[in-house]
Amino acid sequence: MSDKAWKAFERRVAERSGGTRISVSDRKTDLDVDHNYLGIECKYRNKLPQYLKDWYAQAERGSSDTQIPVVVIGEKNSSKMYALMDFDKLTELIASMCALLDEIDQDDKDWNYGGTD
């Protein structure tokens, strides 16, 4: 029996993010993927609005090789902002930050704060 397209999409998101898909029957949360750092809700559509793709393409064209393209979307009379970015870039960014934090934490363990041993 093959997965429905939305279910297969959730599995791909979980795999690419390093998370685990949460089965509908096992729901303990409204999220679709269990992940250490991200609260992932998946939405799968036949087609995304062209303006979202255009906005992202503009961010890509304007970004240098050292920048991650991001579209920030806001709404009138609201302070809330949303980010649209490439999912693989997001997971790479999080992995890099976690590695950096682990490195800093390891450096702290090696540091002698002047106490007695």
Average pLDDT, the chain: 89
Query: What pLDDT does residue 26 have?
Result: 75
> Torsions phi, psi of 73, nearest 5?
-115, 130
Query: What pLDDT does residue 107 have?
Result: 66
Q: Which residue has the higher pLDDT, 110 or 59?
A: 59
* Cα 65 to Cα 79: distance, rounded to the nearest angstrom: 30
Query: What pLDDT does residue 101 have?
Result: 87
pLDDT digits (tens, 9 = 90+) for 84-109: 999 999 999 998 998 888 888 776 66
Q: Dig out the tokens for 31 from the structure.
A: 């999220």
Give the pLDDT mean for 33-41.
Answer: 93
Strand partners, 40: 33
Query: What pLDDT does residue 86 have?
Result: 97
What's the predicted TM-score (pTM) here?
0.79
